[in-house]
Amino acid sequence: MELKDCDQELLNDPARLEHLLVDAAKRAGATVVEKAFHQFNPHGVSGVVIIAESHLFIHTWPEHGYAAVDIFTCGDTVRADKAAEWLAEKMGAAHFSMIELRRGIMPGVLAGR
């Protein structure tokens, strides 16, 4: 997903972003396993929350009020759309877009597909 016109202070705060991504994962029904966030100089944050079902990743450009977020899940129990909508609201995005890309759909890649 892409988030535009977000809270610029939030986009440069790795601790707050970590909290938001962990909460988003839990709200989606995912199981958090690990997390790592890095703040760049002079600004910007990259972070990942590893979940048992895959991961959530964010990279921010506070100077532009912009963030890119990937919510990668497997299985049928995690609701990535819930995490995405909740993140857009909490990050104060005036504009956001989401694209769903289904993976593992090639014959023989994942059993049962």
Quick one: angle between helices 80-90 and 14-27, nearest 10?
A: 140
Q: Write down the catalytic residue from 59, 64, 95, 97.
A: 59
Alpha carbon distance 44, 39 (integer Å): 6
Active site residue 46: no
> Which one of 19, 38, 64, 74 is the catalytic residue?
74
Catalytic residue among 54, 55, 64, 97: 54
- CA 56 to chain centroid, in Å, comes to 4
Q: In the annotation, is 97 catalytic?
A: no
User: Exposed/middle/buried for 53, CB within 10 Å: 0-12, 13-18, 19+?
Assistant: buried
Whether residue 6 lies in the annotated active site: no
**DSSP at 63:** G
Catalogue the active-site residues: 54, 59, 74
